[in-house]
Amino acid sequence: MDISKRWETSRHANSHFSKNDLFRKSLEYMVQKNPTLILDEVKVDCAKCHNPRITKKTVEDKDKYLLLMGIEEKKQEMQNVLNTENMKNGINCVVCHNIDEIHLDKSKGSQGMNNVKFGEQGTMFGPFDDADSPYHQTAQREHFASDDPTLCFVCHYSTSNKHEVEVYATGKEYDASGSAEGCRDCHMSGKFEGFASNYSKNGGKPKPRMVREHRFASVDNSNIMIDHIDIKTAVRGDSFILTLKNKTPHAIPTGYGLREIILNVAYFDKTDKKVGEERKVLAAKWLDAKGEETIPHLAKSKSQDTRLAANTTQEYLFKIPQGAMYAKYTFSYRLISEKMAQTIGVTDPFFLKEYVFSERRIHLD
């Protein structure tokens, strides 16, 4: 129950488009901008990572014609493929723990279900060689027992859009960093003594295990930003300086390409009157064929990338206005920029929120 409750707070539990407004609006925007696509086709394609147990891998041209013609039988078939309760459960226990083999070809990037071989129905794989359950068969697999990140890279390595623009590359960033620490210590937890199951044999007690939290930490359910980014302040001449040290083996922010880190510095005089404010945004910007901002999956180019690279330290200078006695800085994170959220029609407050991780008042004398 503890493991399940932690998982429920994760983005894995909300990977289906019905539970993820940003994902759903991104799919709809892609179809809106490309008349050769239909929505069900894009949903099926993206499901290879968002819902890897989907029973349909592609939407053939004949399927598209029938759907466009409004054939009720075909519409119902697609509803059954895309909207079952199992699909709406997202990346649940059965998705990961039924993976028998991983065949990740990094040259092709993240292929989701096409990178794995699932086991027999009713068999669950994990890190322990002596696990037992009255509900299903159990077996050990090395991709659960080791700290190797290959299991995560099934979906989180990299991917490019149809214009060959790389829209995320978390796994590539990790490989380039030379790290050997894996993903789990940060995004799950370090190992601690607990219980993987309430089940006990012959009336005994459940067996203690070295387990991890299945929270898959993000900005909304953890302090992951504070835990893995060091922030220092300094005053040098007429500049207020924020120094960020990225202790992670990938860029910050990483993953979905419209995420932002925001550094905001406000200045106040001796009467507490605001006398200035400056903001810097660490993010990538994506452009379409007309040079207008778009979502990564439609971009023909990336015009800038000011993200903080893996295992690097960067100074950010802010000019101190005349008369300022102290500064207030805010270090925060957005899951999508305000501009692009408005462009594609995101309305869920979860995605519109600016997640604040650090705020401090610093005297400038």
Q: Tens digit of pLDDT per residue, the chain (365 long)?
A: 889 999 999 999 999 999 999 999 999 999 999 988 999 999 999 999 999 999 999 999 999 999 999 999 999 999 999 999 989 999 999 999 999 999 999 999 999 999 999 999 999 999 999 998 989 999 999 999 999 999 999 999 999 999 999 999 999 999 999 998 899 999 999 999 999 888 887 777 889 999 999 999 999 999 999 999 999 999 999 999 999 999 999 999 999 999 999 999 999 999 999 999 999 999 999 999 999 999 999 999 999 999 999 999 999 999 999 999 999 999 999 999 999 999 999 999 999 999 999 999 999 97
The type of residue at 216 is F
Residues pairing with 282 in the sheet: 261
pLDDT for the residue 219: 95
Residue 291 burial (10 A CB sphere; 0-12, 13-18, 19+): exposed
Residues 113 and 175 in one domain: yes
Residues 229 and 348 in one domain: yes
In a domain, 2, yes or no: no
Question: Residue 301 corresponds to which tokens in the numbers above?
Answer: 């180019």
In a domain, 220, yes or no: no
State the CATH number of the domain containing residue 335: 2.60.40.10
Residues 170 and 195 in one domain: yes
**Count of residues for the chain?**
365
* CA 196/CA 149 separation, integer angstroms: 21
The type of residue at 281 is V
**Which residues form the domain of 179?**
93-211
DSSP states along 299-327: -SEEEEE-PBPTT-EEEEEEEPPTT--EE
β pairing state of 137-140 and 123-126: parallel
Residues 22 and 83 in one domain: yes
The model carries a pTM of: 0.93
In a domain, 216, yes or no: no
Question: Residue 303 corresponds to which tokens in the numbers above?
Answer: 């015009």
Phi–psi pair at 341, nearest 5 degrees: -60, -40
CA distances from 145 to 64, 150, 294 (A): 43, 12, 40
Residues 266 and 198 in one domain: no
* CA 51/CA 60 separation, integer angstroms: 19
Place of tokens 């991983």: 102
Q: Report the phi/psi class of residue 7: left, alpha or beta, with left for phi > 0 and alpha for psi in -120 to 50.
A: alpha
In a domain, 10, yes or no: no
Tally of CB atoms within 10 A around 200: 12
Interior CA angle at 357 toward 354 and 362, to 5°?
Answer: 110
In a domain, 188, yes or no: yes
Residue that finishes a domain, picked among 178, 211, 244: 211
Tally of CB atoms within 10 A around 198: 8
DSSP states along 77-112: HHHHHHS-HHHHT-S-HHHHHTEEEE---GGG---G
Residues pairing with 230 in the sheet: 245
In a domain, 296, yes or no: yes
The tally of domains found in the chain comes to 3
* CA 159/CA 14 separation, integer angstroms: 21
In a domain, 9, yes or no: no
pLDDT in tens, 24-82: 999 999 999 998 899 999 999 999 999 999 999 999 999 999 999 999 999 999 999 99
Residue that finishes a domain, picked among 142, 176, 211: 211
- For residue 30, what is the enclosing H or E element? helix 21-33
Asked if residue 229 lies in contact with residue 252, where contact means CB atoms within 8 angstroms, the answer is yes
What 3-state class would DSSP assign to 266? strand
Residues 229 and 326 in one domain: yes
Residues 278 and 314 in one domain: yes
* CA 312/CA 225 separation, integer angstroms: 15
Residues 159 and 205 in one domain: yes
In a domain, 3, yes or no: no
Residues 328 and 245 in one domain: yes
What 3-state class would DSSP assign to 149? coil
Residues 206 and 261 in one domain: no
Residues 62 and 176 in one domain: no
Residues 245 and 328 in one domain: yes
Up-side HSE of residue 21: CA atoms within 13 Å toward CB?
13
Question: Residue 36 corresponds to which tokens in the numbers above?
Answer: 């050769």
Tally of CB atoms within 10 A around 185: 12
